[in-house]
Structure 1
Amino acid sequence: MKILLVIDRLTNPHAGTEGQFLLLIHLLQKAGCELRVLILANSEWLNANPLPCATVIVGSSSIKSPRTWWRVYAQARQAKADGFELAHIFFNDASVVCPPMFALAGIKSIISRRDMGFWYNPIYRLLLPFTGKFVSCALSNSHAVAEVTANVEKIPRAKLRVIYNGFNRALSADSKVTELETLKLSGAAIFGLVANIRPIKRMQDAISALSRLDFGLYNPHLVIIGAGDPSDLQVLASNLGVSNRVHFLGSRSDIPDCLQYLSAGLLCSESEGFSNAIVEYQFAGLPVICSRTGGNPEAVSQDKTGWLYEVGDVAELSRAMEAVLAEPECAQAMGITAKNEAESRYTIDAMLEQHLLLYRELIGVKS
């Protein structure tokens, strides 16, 4: 089976969508698929990390440029001539340009949607309902995301599919992380937040919630793992008197090693499709405290695998953190339940099999 995978650009292999894109390449190759990756714009990361399959750089990514549309069409015609009948498209600009150009060349398109559409601007809202007419399937990673896609992009519900993110449960924590080892040995209860530092992640809420805890009774610390400039958050922590309790580890590739030190995983986003971080927390056996938005309620069950709170409600978030500190055995039991659920719902094998079934259905190939 020949599959064309398309994405705007690849710059951070640890980011949610890009990480899943790279994982999908690995899994589909292992399953015997012939792949060709089409990337609209080059990047330093891609130059330093060639993909393990045929890769074409379009060299133009602006949806306002006729050159982008023409180059995509030329690549679609070549792909069709080479026997490719289906394209799976990731990110915003590619999902605008590619479906109509691929349709002209006789290639069916799947667009992936993995967030609640915070990126929808007036131009996208105008174009997507039109270019969406050429889409064979809109694939989302949660039912919440699928609902937004149907409403904004006017994709018929018969074309909507949901496949949850897959996670490599073979990953295990087998190395010490010096910074966290020292904290743990000091008796700290560590809350972790894994995400790149962006306004939509509302990391200031976690810092504010931490500052409300009783440091006479407990010894809580907050660890933030992700790329981005932490300077504004560091100023906030200093102003709230918790700078010695908030630690920024930056972007890391040893996330499982870091998670073994945590008491709970946090996610404070104002918008979230289906969070890889939540799945990572759960596979690590952690209870999750997260905002009630997007696909989060599909992954976290209140008082069973964690706590849900309203976006921006710092007091409610702080109370959930205090519950972890006050009843650690209960929190640990929630983490065990979360791990069991994750191992049955978010496996690599399940994600791969569902993708293959969808591809075969659209191409018309029997299993």
Structure 2
Amino acid sequence: MILDDQDVTEEWIVRVDGKEYGPANVETLREWKGEGRVLPANEARRVDSELWTSAGEIPGLFNSGTVPRVHVSPPPQRPIPPRSLGQILADSFRIYARGFLQFFSLTLLLLLPSVCAQLTAMWMQNRQAANADLRVVAAGGFAFLMFIFSMAMWPVYVAGIQIITTEIIAERRTGFFVAINDAVRFWPRVAALCIVVYGVFFLLIVFGFLIAAMIVAGSSSVFMILLALALLGLQVWMFGRFFANVLFWQQFAVLENAGVIDSLRESRNLARNGRELPWFQRPLWRGVFIASLWFALVLAIALLSEWATLQHSFNELMTTQDPQTLLQKLSESQQAHGFDALSFALGILQKILQPLIGIAFVLLYLDSRKER
């Protein structure tokens, strides 16, 4: 069988007994095959892809000696329709259940430092109420270090979700530490993208608060109110526009091994793809719906955890006439509010369920790529 130039120049990574070898082209792989170092069952992937397949599927490697046969074109197949939103959600839970231990272990990278920081902060508040000493200062430093460690682990967490999800979809069981090792390689790129994406979102939120302050300060001026409303509309438009552009940045950065600029550009192109489809089948609106479901869940958890505080604040607001007295009562109530086990447990539950949103976007990304 004669190979074309593309098959010869393609380079592959081969995984044998958990170790990766390469990159190597087909000629080198043939030598390894002759030495018995590569078997058809060994895992392999292209250098420019993160999706693993088997060495037996590499063109021209194990099928180079087969007798040529007359090629018969198969009958045309109907394209597989993309998953519906219900199927994406159901498959997300199924994948989460299959890889629960891996996703939970990945979550612990963020959860444990966060819990340590929160418990230390609560201990510091109690100690400061009594007397401040060197232990309080040391505890403050420890809480700060835990916060920094949690932030540093976020890119690994993001990349790990993409890798573990795709491995489960491909019916491969990759070990947790192997997945973490692969995720660490993407840390610089994902960290840079996190700074860009989350930084822009933060600035847009600050812009919204400034508009709210403008409305309060200029409440007596009709012109200022109209100007603030116009700026608020601009802020909402910018927020939605940017959200659409970065819908799939995580998937392109990890699964497609794209650079920072390429990830943002390809994410924008994919999100705007499918304009010939009904609006509810387009990647953008499907992504908006999935994100809205997650934000609704987060809001419900937050309201449930703070329900007693909100109810008390509402009662004080309805019964107290003097604004200064109201602020004083609310401040005293906040200071007297000790450790809330329900709020703490619900916060942990949210962290444990958080991989679901990442899994859902991986499924949406894979479906959207098929439609391009």
Q: TM-score range, shorter-chain basis?
A: under 0.3
Identify the structure with bigger relative contact order (alpha carbons < 8 Å, sequence gap 6+).
2
Return the TM-score normalized by structure 1: 0.26
Higher helix share: 2
Higher strand share: 1
